[in-house]
Structure 1
Amino acid sequence: MKINNIHHIAIIVGNYEQSKRFYSELLGFTIIRELYRAERDSYKLDLAVNGLYQIELFSFPETKSRASFPEAKGLRHLAFAVDNVAEWIDYLRANKVDVQDIRIDETTGRRFAFFNDPDGQPLELYENS
């Protein structure tokens, strides 16, 4: 028995249109499909990350905020591999996204930085090399 890879990551969002723009336009993920499920009054947006991975955004009429930041039980953060963290920080800040300053991973020596999506979900930029 073995797990082959991660199929998708699901994120529940508060403001669907705002999150759709954030992930598709700002972060550049490709929209695969968008569904409106009338029986749930809910949208589901499938996004491709560089053609390899999939993120699903869900909207629901009622959602709860994250219990605490950043150390709530469950998924701590989602990290995206990038070629140049500093360039991404400049890009995100130019688009009015609050991004923490660059830190260095004590184990690998690689640069990384944290920021949040519109709902406060912690996201990380992690430099490939």
Structure 2
Amino acid sequence: MAARAESNGSAFDTAKLVVAIALLIAGVVGFYYFSNEALFYRVLGVVGLSIAATAIAVTTNIGKTFLGFLKEARVEVRKVVWPTRQETMQTTLVVVALVFLVGIILWLLDMVLFWGISLLTGQGK
């Protein structure tokens, strides 16, 4: 009996998700169908249908799980120790300097290999 109730809830959730997707599609189609109307009203219609679709999707098990995930992610972002402006600038300068240094090393390596290949093949000056 419990499995039957669970499958009905799942089927109902699937129906809700289908309705939510249909609302989103209707919003996009309506946006282009009413192309002769003012842009403000068309955007308002798309936003309204998107909010309605989101409200319907959030009531499903998948939507509730996704909302829980977003709340947990927000908590984790608050735990992050963000670098100061000075630390960011110092790190950026170190990265730029190392990229420049590696570029010079690769350029020199390329010159040496080109010189060696030219000597071996006899195509040098």
The bucket for the TM-score relative to the shorter chain is under 0.3
Largest Rg, 1 or 2 = 2
Structure 1 or 2: more helix by fraction: 2
* Normalised TM-score (structure 2): 0.16
Report 1 or 2 for greater relative contact order, CA contacts < 8 Å, sequence distance ≥ 6: 1
